[in-house]
Structures are given as C-alpha cells and as structure tokens.
A and B are shown apart, each in its own frame.
Chain A
Amino acid sequence: MNQSKFLMKLVIFAIIMVVSTAWAFDFSEIEDKISEYDLDNGLTIIVLPRHDAPVVSFVTIVNTGCADDPKGATGIAHMYEHMAFKGTEEIGSKDLKKEEKWMAVEDSIFQLILEERSKGDLADSTKLAELGQKMAVATDSAFSYSETNEYGLIAKRNGGVGLNAGTTFDRTAYYISYPSNKLELWMAMESDRFYKPVLRELFKEKQVVAEERRYRVESMPIGRLVNEYLTLAYKSHPYGEPLIGEMSEIQNYSRPVMMEQFKKYYIPRNMAIGIVGDVDPQEVYRLAKKYFGRLEDKPKPMELMIDEQPPFGVRKSTIIEKSQPMCIFGYQIPTVNHPDWKALQALASYLGSGRTSVLYKNLVKDKKSAVEVEAFTGYPGSKYPSLFSLYCMPSNESSNSENEAEILAEIEKVKTEPIPEKDLEKIKARAKASLINGLASNAGLASQLATYQLVYGDWRMLFKELDKVNALTTEDIQRVAKTYLDPEKRFVTYIEKPEE
C-alpha cells in the first residue's frame, strides 16, 4: 500500500513537473534586444527594435493621475490629458502673441468669476452674468487666433495613426504610431508638448469634458453604483473621488491651477517612454538627448502619504431607484508592489473571471441566481492600497442580499480548503496567454514596457510576471483569502428597487 501511494505521488509529481516547465517561456530573446536610456534629466526611454515593417509605436507614460488632483479640482489630470492635444507655442496658433494676450484676458476675467462664485449664496448673479459675457468675448477672440486641431492634423499628414491618450488614477498615457522615418517628428512634437505647452481652448474643452461626465457617470446606473462604492471605500484617500471630476469643479478649472499641476508632475524623472518598432536605438538616444534633453530636471514629487484606515465594520450604502438591482462589495488590499498582489489576482481570477470561474458556474449557470458575477482587483488603482471587489447582478428569482451571501460562502470555502490544483493550472495558463497576447503589437508592448518601468522601477519585471504566477501555490491563495477577506470589514453598495 505504501509503495503504490508513493508511486502515485511520483506520477503526480512528474505530471506537475512537465506541466510547470511548459508554463515557462524564454523571454530572453526579446529582453536582450531592449535598450534602456536614462537622460541626464532623469527621463527613461526603453527601446525595442522590431524590423518587420517600417513602422514604430510610441507610448509616453507620466506617473501622475487623478489621485494627484488638488482638492477642489478633481479630474484635472484627465482635463490636462485633453489639453495636451491643443498644441504648443509653435503648433496650433495663427498668431501666438495675440492668442496669448486674449488668453491672459480670459484668465483675469475667470479669476474674477471664481472670486464671485466662491461667495456661494452671497454671490452676485448679475455680476456673474456680466463677467460671463465678457468671458465669452475673450474666449471667442482667443479662439479666432487658434489653429484648432493643428497638432492632430500634422500627425495625420505625416502618416501618424492611433493618436490617443488615457488617464487613470495612477497614470496618464499618450499613444501614437508613425512610419519609422518620422522618428524625429515624434521627438520634436512629443517633447515640445511637455516643454512649452499652451493650454489654448481650455474653456471650450471644459464643456466637452462636462458632456463626457454626463454620459459616463451620470446617465448610467453602473456609473452611480461605482461612484458610491468608491466613496464608501475611500474616505480619506483620493481614490474615492470621481476620475472625471465633480461637475462644479470641472467648471472651475483655471489655467494657473492646471499649469501648477503640470509643472509639479510632468517632469522627466516622473515619466517613462516606450518605443517599439523599426528604429535604431542609438539614433533614438541621439534624438532623445536633443529634444527631450531640453526638459528641465526637477525633483520627483513624493507619492501621497494618505493612509486609508480600515473600516470598523461593514460600511453599506443603498441607492434606491427603479433600475436593475446590482451589487458591488469589496475589501481593502495592498498595492501592486506588495508580495501578496499576485496571489490576490489569482484568487480573483479563480472566483470570478470568466465563464469558467467558480462564482459564474455556481451562481449564473447552476443556481441561476445571478445574471452576472465578477471578481477583480486593481480598481480604482494599484499604486496606492487597492480593493478586492465583487460585482453581481441578481436574477429575478434572487436578490442582492442572497447573491452577497452566496459569494461570501464561496469565499469562506477558499479559506477552509485550498482550491483544486487543476484550477490553479488554468489560472496560470490564462495568465500566460494574456501576457503573451499583450506583447504582440508594437503599441501594446511599448505601453507595457513604460508602465512596468514606472510601477516597479524596472521594465524587466514585465518578463518576470510569469515566474511570479508560476511560483504561486494553492496555500498562497488560501492564505491571502484569510488575511484580507474579512467579512466583518467590508464596503457594500446596492442598487435596489423601491419597496412595493
């Protein structure tokens, strides 16, 4: 008996060994081709030559996001991202001097408007109306001297594609791809937008952002639910503020506040650039020194030190409205740099990622008590302590509280018995597929390299991802469930229909 048990263990061990080595992929071929350049002013540029086609993708990531927004100006990081397409001193103007003159007029009138607004209920509405009219004149005059959209037009004329940008709480990213002989054009335009930006058309663009807010946050129930959830989970830390900003604060954005934010965070030490495509790294370095070398070296701003305290109990908020009931609840977890991060990601994947996950199979397919269910980490950000979140939409046979109880029961199971080995293998396989697919496109890879450089201080960590995933054991997953998922310390938000 002992012998056969021993043989079984050997067989299982052999299978696991075979399977484990299959997970490994040798990234050293790609890694060895990558060059890293650190300019004197602290800017890091990571370059991977890929000569399949004469194209190149550029991704610039700045280590600032909406978590850095000053109080009273939530969403300003996102607003700045919009502004970054408005051009520079050389691009985007018909007559810079006249434009700047009218922009200065705009700024001084707006300052008066802000002062009057700040009086709250004592504000003089007649005065505000007059100032509003003067403002409109100034804005129209300034606009008449702007060469609107010139930045984008130049990019397009020169074969640029995929001109885009995105802001999260943690970071802001700028993307574009060019035919590879336009390398210097990108260098000149991209460095210029961080060297001498001109925040033209600010007051017009604010209305565009206001519309975006109406669409994303205000008119969709899920937008309201998420807003409420984050507010509950973060009462001190800015992760609890809306990414796009509060409507009133959007209306109050001013150039001086934006420029202050820009000067503090858009500095070379706080950025990383990924360049992947048909380029010669030495040429990239030469041009980077010439153009990006102009950016002033300033000290890297400190990260926030706002510790969100653990809740004393279960914080709950219910939104009553006549729409589809839904629920989001979650727990505090550490940052992406914490050793437990990978195990927490794996736990979320096991519980609720896709149609083969445990919660989906139990609640949606078998019991039909939920129509949708998901588990995820990293929202709203991961630079600062994050959340392990569960989302569900109950079916009409069930309810938010029933789903919540079912999900909690599944979590308790993970704490008491380790998850099956084969499920861990599936998680590892999915992680591998996902990582590898993410490296396929030039733009995707450029983005990953720059991101990892900022998040870990080392782009090479991208290629160590799989090792970290492979090292996970079922014990790790059980342990993090016990450590972080305390049912007595949670944040819960519901959308419920009104009582009959």
Chain B
Amino acid sequence: MYRRISILGFLLIGIFCLTGLNSFAERTIDKIKYPPLHEIIPPQVDTLRLDNGIKLFLLEDHELPIVHARVRLAAGEFLNTPDKAGLAEICGTVMRTGGTARMTGDDIDEALESIGAAVEVNIGRTDGSASMNILSEYVDTGLEILADVLRTPQFNQDKIDLAKTSERTSISSRNDDAFDVCAREFRKIIYGKDGPYTLQTEYATVDDITRDDLIDFHDKWITPQNVMIAVWGDFDSDEMIAKLKKYFEDWAPGAEKVPMLPDVSYEFKPGVHYIEKDDVTQSTVLVGHIGGKTGDPDYFALTVANNVLGGSFGSRMFNEIRSKKGLAYSTGGNFSTTIAYPGIYYNYVVTKLETTVEAAKAILDEIRRMQTDPPTADELATAKESYLNSFVFNFDSKGEIINRMMNYDYFDFPQDFLMTVRENIQKVTADDVIDVARRRFHPDAMQIVVVGKADEFGEPLSDLGTVDTIDISIPSGETEEEVAINEETLAKGMELLKKAVKACGGADGFAKIKSTKSSATVKLNTPQGEFALETESIYVLPDKSKEIVTLPMGQMITVSTGDSGWMKQGNQIIDLSSDRIADSKKENFRNTLHLFKRIGSPDYQAVYVKTEEMNGKMTDIVKVISLDGKMSFKLGLDHETGLPVSQMYFGETMVGPGNLTQTYSDYRNVSGLKIPFAINIESDGNKIADIIIKDYKLNADIPADAFNKP
C-alpha cells in the first residue's frame, strides 16, 4: 500500500512537470474556486414625457442627500458649417458663463460655490449636456439655475470674448502633443476633412463667430424637443416631477428637431501620411480604417478579435511589439463603434524614431496574422475574460446606468443591448474570430499616419507606400486686404520706395553695405511686467544674422544663415526648427536695409496702397511683396520727407499670431545713411517692445567664423 501511494505520488509529480507551463506547483490563486457572480439587477428608472416633448428619466436613491441631473442636448458641432467651426462649443461655454435673465455668470458662480454645488454646460461634436450636482436641500436653487442657463442665457459679450481667448489658446497649442496631432489627422482622413465629424476651429472661424450666431444657434437647437433630462438621487419622484414641470414644462417648443447624425461614406484604400514634428524622440503611428456601429451583427466577434489583437495586457500586439521586440511601451488597438455612425478601427504604437517603419510593419503583420492564425484557447479565454469579468462595472454607478439609458432611448437603441452583448461574447469561437478578422480587417487597405522626424527613421516611410505629407501649420487667420496691383500702383510704389532710399542717404550708399553691427536695449512688455534686456546683433547681407541676448542666467545666442540656424543657451545648442527658419526668412525679407540695397535690381514688387494719416502725419503706404507672393509687409513712408516711419506685418505676438506695427524715430547719421535709433513695436494697440539702439556700425569687421556653431 505504501509503495503504491508513493508510485502514484511519483507519477503525479511527473504529470505536473509535463503539463505545467511554469515551474510552480499550482499557485494559491489558481486553486481558488469562485462563486458565480450575483445577478446584475438594473434599477428601476421611471420615464415620462412632458407636454412640450421633453422626456424625463428619474431614479430615486436615498443613501446620500445628493441630487444629480444631466440634460442631454442633441445639438453638436456637426450642425455647424466649417466657416464658423467652434460655434457650438463656444455657445455651450457661454450659456453657463454668460449670465441668465435672472443672474450674472459671476453671481451664479457665487451662489453655487457657497453651497458646494455645480452646474455645467458643454457642447461637443455630436451632442452636449448640462449637468447639476447639489445637496438635496438646495435642489430648487439648482434646478432654477439649470433651467435658466438652458432657457434664458444672456450671452454677455465679455464672456464671449473670454471663451474666444480660451479657444485661441487651444488652437495655438493644438500641435504640441504628438498623439493628439496623430489622432486628429487620422480622424480627418477617415471621416473626410471639414465634415460634420471633423470641423476644425481656426483663428479665422473663431473671429467670425458673433453674438448673434450664438443666440441663433441656441434658439434653434436648444429647445424642448431636442432635450432629455435624467435626474437621480435623494428626492421623491412625484415631488421631483412637479418641480421639473414647474421649471421646464412652459418652455416653448422650437421649430425643428435636430437631425440624426449623418452617415459616413468610406472608401477602403491604403494610404501613408507623414506629419513632420521635429521636437520628438519618438514617432506616433496610427494604422487603421473605418470601424463600425455598435448595433453591427459582427460587434461581438469584433470585440473578442480586438481584445486578442490589441486589447492591452496579454494581447498579440502587447506581447509581440512591446514585450518581445521591445519596440514600444505604448501600443494597442480598438475597433471602436458608436451607435449612430461608424467608429474608427485603429491600432497604434509609439516607438523611437529609428524603429518607426519596423513598428508599423509589425502592426500590419499582426493584423494579417489575425486572419490566418486562430486564437489559442488561452488567447480566446483571456480576451473574453477581460471583457466579461469587468462587464459588471457597466452597472456600478446609477449615473452611468441612467445616462446610458437616456442615450439609448435617443437613438431608439434596444435597452437590453448590454445584456445581449454578454451572452453573445460568451458564444464567440476561435473560428468566429478568424472569420470576422478576414471580413472586417483590411490590412491591404489601411490608412497609416505617422507623426515624427523622417530623417531619423531607420527605414524610409516609402517602404510602406507612396507618402503624402500633411502640413499641420496653423493658418494665421490673417485677413488679406484687397490691394490693387496694376501698372499704375506698381509704378507709384517703386517711385515712393526710391524716394525713401534717397531720403535715407541714396542708393549708392546702400549698395555699399555689406554688414551691420549694433547693440541695443530692448524693453519688453510682457503679461508679467516690463523688463529690459541687452542685445547685440550682427547682420551680414544678404541672409546671415546673429543675435546675442543677455539674460540673468547667461547669454542666449541665435544664428540664422538662410536655410538653417542654431540657438545656444548655457551648454545647450539646438538647431532651429523649420518654423523658426521660416520666420527668420520673413524677418530678413522685411529688413529695410536689405530692401534698399536691392532697389537697383529688386526681387520684389512694391505696390502703392494708399495715403493716410498715421500718428498725426500723412503717410504713404507701400506694400512690398516677394516675387513668389509668399511674403509681404507694408511700409509707411512720410509723405513729405519719404523717410520710413513704420512697418506693418503679420507675425507672432505674446498671444498668438497678430498684426504688428513697428514705428521708427530718432533718425541719426551713420556713415552717410540715416538709421532710426528708436523702434517701437506694438500689436493691435498693445505695446510689445521698445528698442533703443546704443551703438550702430556699418561694414564693421566681422570674423569669418562668427556664425559657426561652437
């Protein structure tokens, strides 16, 4: 008996060694037997419709004395037109901040904060919401404010201006984050630019939004038939219905119902798109095509397939691209769906520049492999389990439940949808996964968007296909004033320019200039206050310049030599970005000395615009345009003397691009030429800087290596 047991024991140990994938005996956690999960019993939500069309959803919860409300607004940016992109969003913001018929925005802030309550309004691309969170004893105050911001917003101009400033700041920083850029451009490729789902706010569109626009948008789309209200928390349903009727039932219905979200027509075709971003050490790569709708019959198999392929921990992309090949920390994918319109199927990887193309290829390989290698039992189990085991968290908050219900109701989507998902996911087999991958993933028709720095890619991007480069530079919103360009205005423009050259010392004098060297005190006016800097500048015509600025922590040196340049601060030396180089070229173009030197054989046009009074003096305005038309600025010349008194151009200010004006004064004689020793720079009436030249030399000795990188 003893021997048999020991042989049996020996055999058992042997079996463990053969089948065990790890060298452990069964772990503690593997021995646990879990009871079945308790049934999910969704709470009972009452619904009713008011006479004016508003549908209400109510759910009592007396555990804590709080009341929450969320108003679903059917309106979104998708109702807007590209020329006023941002209108819906700003309307939402100012509905809350701009005051109501009863209270100013600041008074609302005060009233809410003093009771620890919140009311917010927000309108996005496809819909919007107004929310309320308040202790139950103040619910009337909250509901009144909520109703007011929806029904009688005043759109106070100062709050509109504030919202626009905020929007402009967003625009100016929209290219800061590589992933944001990649995702945004990817969306545009899938859904089409300037479409209802891809309207992009620009400085010009924000400028064009008027107070009347906001009022019209509100009056047309924020109306009872386009509004649904969910309330949950500590209240008695009958009392709450009475209150909601009091605040909302006499709201007159509008004229129109918000149309359903438009469909998307998509053509499957491959594409490779490149966006240059030169301040990154990693590339962001997105690979994908159109996704599907949530009600799609393939939804269940797709969810499982996606989890196998790119659903984070344990997925194929995670294992291959991250763990095995070490190409990335961040990688994954999602076949995203929405109820009303198709979502986007995307896979992403963030990898060092060198391995950009390798990583993109690895993604494509994995997608193809999904069509040939069925998931193993383990893979299938993991993919289903991650979904099924955390499924219950769809029901862990009353707010989540009631809002989902409201949303499904809006789209006439079956309320028990989630429960069918659970059953159907459980049924998905390995064959289903292969089948859906073959039918719905199209690795030969993938759109690829890469944000990075191509000259550091290990392999060329063209290995993936013909590359289309996307320019993400933010349009300046500069409004082009109509300037008549004809024989007459060209002749007069050049005449005035020649007069200016003569007034400043004559063409011969300017022709002799090879270089300038100067030092100045610059008084900068910043939001933080005024402060003064000392600068030294060297300029070797036609296009080499060096600027040394003395800062408290040392010098900052900027050198531009035409198509390249560098900057040094402390021990750091960096190359100038392509944006900076482009700016440098524009600055060079505007250099009056350089302009005057070329008067003999000008490579620009000078167009007379008009004569008007500026700073109390009659001034002739001449527009100078580069021959390719890409650069221009205006010169203001004193009508009597011909001396340049000002220069107007479009450039960078402290708050984004804007119109700048330089004014010249304190003209002094330097080697027979007249040079202004005081320059004032302002933008839209705001002072930016005063430059006071201390020393100015023409044709000084400049060492040959002055512009070399240290």
| Interface of A toward B, CB cutoff 8 Å | 22, 25, 29-30, 50-55, 90-91, 94-96, 148-149, 152-154, 156-161, 177, 179-182, 184-185, 188-189, 192, 278, 320-322, 324-325, 354-356, 365, 396, 426, 429-434, 436-437, 439-442, 497-498, 500
Identify which of B295-303, B394-402, B464-472 touches chain A: B394-402
Checking B43, B66, B114, B388 against A426 with a beta-carbon cut-off of 8 angstroms, the contacting residue is: B114
Give residues of chain B (442-493) contacting chain A, Cβ–Cβ below 8 Å: none
Closest to B390 in A: A159
Across the interface, do B390 and A161 meet the contact criterion of CB distance under 8 Å? Answer: yes
Chain A neighbourhood of B27, CB < 8 A: 90-91
A184 contacts which chain B residues (CB < 8 A)?
A: 32, 34
Chain B contacts for A55, CB-based, 8 A: 392-393, 395-396
A-B contact pairs, 25 of them (CB 8 A): A25-B65, A29-B63, A51-B38, A54-B37, A55-B396, A90-B24, A91-B29, A95-B22, A96-B24, A148-B323, A152-B313, A156-B386, A159-B393, A179-B390, A180-B37, A188-B29, A192-B28, A356-B110, A396-B529, A429-B116, A429-B135, A430-B114, A433-B117, A436-B135, A498-B552
Q: In the complex the two chains form, is A429's CB within 8 Å of B114's CB?
A: yes
Contact in complex: B115, A433 (CB < 8 Å)? yes
Flag if A324 contacts B312 (CB, 8 Å): no
Q: Is B66 in contact with A440, judged by CB distance below 8 angstroms?
A: yes
Q: Does B616 contact A (CB under 8 A)?
A: no
* In the complex, chain A residues whose CB is within 8 Å of the CB of B553: 321-322
Q: Which residues of A contact B28 (CB under 8 A)?
A: 90, 188, 192
B389 touches A158 (CB 8 A): yes
> Judging by beta carbons under 8 Å apart, are B34 and A181 in contact?
yes
**What residue in chain A is nearest B398 (Cβ atoms)?**
A52
Contact indicator B32/A430 (Cβ below 8 Å): no
- With A54-B39, A442-B396 known as contacts, the answer to whether A159 contacts B528 (CB < 8 A) is no
Closest 10 pairs between A and B when the two form their complex, measured CB to CB: A433-B116, A159-B389, A498-B552, A54-B38, A159-B390, A426-B114, A430-B116, A153-B313, A90-B27, A181-B37
Chain A contacts for B393, CB-based, 8 A: 55, 159, 161, 177, 179
Q: Are A426 and B552 in contact (CB under 8 A)?
A: no
Neighbour of A181 across the interface among B38, B312, B323, B386, CB < 8 A: B38
Contacts of A192 in B (CB 8 A): 28
A372 CA / B393 CA spacing, docked (Å): 39
The answer to whether the Cβ of B259 comes within 8 Å of any Cβ in the partner chain is: no
Residues of B within 8 A of A396 (CB): 526-529
In the complex, B320 has a CB within 8 A of chain A:
no
CA distance A189 to B27 in the complex (A): 11
> Is there an interface contact between A52 and B43, defined as CB atoms closer than 8 Å?
yes
When each residue 131-146 of chain B gets 1 if its CB lies under 8 Å from chain A and 0 otherwise, what string results?
0011101000000000
User: Considering residues A154, A159, A325, A439, which has the most beta carbons from chain B within 10 angstroms of its beta carbon?
Assistant: A159
- B551 contacts the other chain (Cβ, under 8 Å)? yes
Residues of B close to A433: CB separation below 8 A? 115-117, 134-135
Contact B66 A185 (CB under 8 A): no
Q: When A55-B396, A91-B29 are in contact, do A354 and B113 touch as well, CB less than 8 Å?
A: yes
Residues of the A chain whose Cβ atoms lie less than 8 Å from the Cβ of B397: 441
Residue contact B552 to A53, C-beta cutoff 8 Å: no
**Complex CA distance for A498 and B534, rounded to whole angstroms:** 13
B residues near A180, Cβ cutoff 8 Å? 37-38, 392
A54 touches B64 (CB 8 A): no
Q: Which one of A52, A95, A180, A442 has the highest number of Cβ atoms from chain B below 10 Å of its Cβ? A: A52
Residues of B within 8 A of A91 (CB): 27, 29
Residue of A nearest to B109 (CB): A355
Identify A54's interface contact among B40, B114, B115, B312, CB under 8 A.
B40
B63 pairs with A30, CB closer than 8 A? yes
Do the beta carbons of B392 and A159 come within 8 Å of each other? yes
Point out which of B23, B117, B133 has the most chain A C-beta atoms below 10 A from its C-beta: B23
User: Shortest distance in angstroms between A392's beta carbon and chain B's nearest beta carbon?
Assistant: 14
* Neighbour of A156 across the interface among B23, B37, B312, CB < 8 A: B312
Cα–Cα distance between A357 and B117 once the two chains are bound (Å): 15
A154 / chain B contacts, CB cutoff of 8 Å:
29
A159 adjacent to B391 (CB under 8 Å):
yes
Most buried by B among A22, A161, A439, A440: A440
Docked-complex contact B64 and A439, CB < 8 angstroms: yes
Check A158 against B385 for contact (C-beta < 8 Å): yes
Roughly how many angstroms separate A171 CA and B510 CA in the complex, as a whole number?
A: 73
Q: Which residues on B sit within 8 Å (CB–CB) of A96? A: 23-24
User: Of A25, A51, A152, A433, which is in contact with the most chain B CB atoms at under 10 Å from its CB?
Assistant: A433
B396–A181 touching, CB < 8 Å: no
Chain B residue with Cβ nearest A436: B64
Inter-subunit contact B38/A429 (CB<8 Å): no
Alpha-carbon separation in the docked complex, A160 to B396 (Å)? 13
Whether, in the assembled complex, B532 has its beta carbon less than 8 Å from a beta carbon of chain A, the answer is: yes
In the bound complex, what is the Cα–Cα distance between A161 and B386 (angstroms)? 10
Give the distance in Å from the alpha carbon of A386 to the alpha carbon of B396 in the complex. Answer: 37
Residues of A within 8 A of B392 (CB): 53-55, 159, 179-180
User: How far apart are the CA atoms of A53 and B61 in the complex, in Å?
Assistant: 13
Which chain A residue shows the least CB distance to B32?
A184
Inside 8 A of B35's CB, which chain A residues have their CB? 181
Select one of A95, A148, A355, A436 contacting B23, CB under 8 A.
Answer: A95
Q: Which residues of A contact B395 (CB under 8 A)?
A: 53, 55
Residue B36 at the chain A interface, CB threshold 8 Å: yes
B334: min CB distance to chain A, Å: 16
Quick one: which of A94, A179, A278, A434 contacts B22, CB cutoff 8 A? Answer: A94
A205 to chain B, nearest CB (A): 13
Minimal beta-carbon separation of B668 from chain A (angstroms): 25
Of all chain B residues, which has the CB nearest A90?
Answer: B27
Pairwise interchain contact A356-B314, C-beta atoms closer than 8 A: no
**With A320-B552, A396-B529, A433-B117 as contacts: A53 and B386 at CB distance below 8 Å:** no
User: CB-defined interface of B361-399 with A at 8 Å, one 1/0 digit per residue?
Assistant: 000000000000000000000100110111111011110
| Chain A residue contacts of B64, Cβ below 8 A | 436, 439-440
Cα-based distance from A426 to B135 in the complex (angstroms): 13
Contact A157 B113 (CB under 8 A): no
- A-contact bits for B631-646, CB 8 A (1 contact / 0 none): 0000000000000000
- The complex places the Cα of A148 from the Cα of B553 at a distance, in Å, of 44
CB neighbours (8 Å) of A440 from chain B are: 64, 66
B29 touching A185, Cβ below 8 Å: yes
A321 and B527 alpha carbons, distance in the complex (Å): 16
Q: How far is the CB of A252 from chain B (nearest CB, A)?
A: 26
Cβ contacts under 8 Å, A498 to chain B:
552
Chain A residues whose CB sits within 8 angstroms of the CB of B36 once the complex forms: 181
Chain B's closest residue to A94 (CB) is B22
> Considering the chains assembled together, what is the distance between the CA atoms of A325 and B527 in angstroms?
11
Q: Chain A residues with Cβ under 8 A from B2's Cβ? A: none
Please measure, in the bound complex, the distance between the C-alpha atom of A422 and the C-alpha atom of B324, giving whole angstroms. 64
A189: B residues at CB distance < 8 A: 29
Q: Are B113 and A322 in contact (CB under 8 A)?
A: no
Which chain B positions have C-beta within 8 A of A94?
Answer: 22
CB neighbours of B552 from chain A (8 A):
320-322, 498
User: How long is the Cα–Cα vector from A161 to B29 in the complex, in angstroms?
Assistant: 18
Which B residues touch A50, using CB under 8 A? 63
Beyond contacts A90-B28, A91-B27, A426-B114: 14 other A-B pairs, Cβ-Cβ < 8 A, are A53-B392, A54-B40, A55-B396, A159-B393, A177-B396, A179-B392, A181-B36, A181-B38, A182-B34, A322-B552, A322-B553, A355-B110, A396-B528, A436-B66
Decide if B313 touches A149 in the complex (CB within 8 Å): yes
Please tell me if B531 contacts chain A, counting CB pairs below 8 Å: yes
Chain B 421-432 against A: per-residue CB contact (8 Å), 1 yes, 0 no?
000000000000
Chain A residue nearest to B401 in the complex (CB)? A53
**In the bound complex, what is the Cα–Cα distance between A321 and B35 (angstroms)?**
62
Kindly name the residue among A157, A396, A431 whose own CB sees the greatest number of chain B CB atoms within 10 A. Answer: A157
Shortest CB-to-CB span from B653 to chain A, Å, is 16
Q: Are the C-beta atoms of A356 and B109 separated by less than 8 Å?
A: yes
How long is the Cα–Cα vector from A159 to B384 in the complex, in angstroms? Answer: 11
In the bound complex, CA of A145 to CA of B135 (Å): 54
Within 8 A of A (CB), among B85-144: 106, 109-110, 113-117, 133-135, 137
Alpha-carbon distance A278/B392, docked complex (angstroms): 12
